[in-house]
Amino acid sequence: MVELSQPGQLSGIAVQIGIERGEWGSGKASVTLDIESRHCNKGGVAHGGLYTMMLDMALGGGLVSILPVNEWCATTQLNTSFISAARPGEKISARGHVVKRGRNVAHLAGEITSESGRVIATATGTWAIWDHKPASMK
């Protein structure tokens, strides 16, 4: 039986921002965040870069959850649509899932929603897959 990858530690920036891991496995992953004023832009709503980071983590996590431990992946394209805005006091969740995994490329999709179910942002993305960690990434 092939040993699948397990969730790694969250990056330092994710921890500092306050992102927490949620669902993990079977081609799906999620991360959550309680929005605070420190996450907001000058308009008083959560920064779009935050949504993009969370979606990259959730979609990529969905792929990693089905990769054997020896394989490696990296985001090659992430398309994000900003639908609504999250404000301080709201909890948001980014969820991602594998649409199709090929030998060297995977396609993923996901969305960020508020606790009430309001869609904040959506994303689709493409990930490159290698059968080992590339030498350039060591």
Residue range(s) defining the domain that contains residue 54: 12-137
Do 21 and 95 contact (CB within 8 A), yes or no?
A: no
59-90 pLDDT, tens digit per residue, is 999 999 999 999 999 999 999 999 999 999 99
Backbone phi, then psi, for 23, in 5-degree steps?
Answer: -65, 150
The answer to whether residue 84 is domain-embedded is yes
Global pTM reads 0.95
CB atoms near residue 102 (< 10 Å): 8
The answer to whether residue 3 is domain-embedded is no
The answer to whether residue 52 is domain-embedded is yes
**How many structural domains compose the chain?**
1
The answer to whether residue 6 is domain-embedded is no
In CATH, what number is assigned to the domain containing residue 85? 3.10.129.10
Query: What average pLDDT does the chain have?
Result: 96
The answer to whether residue 5 is domain-embedded is no
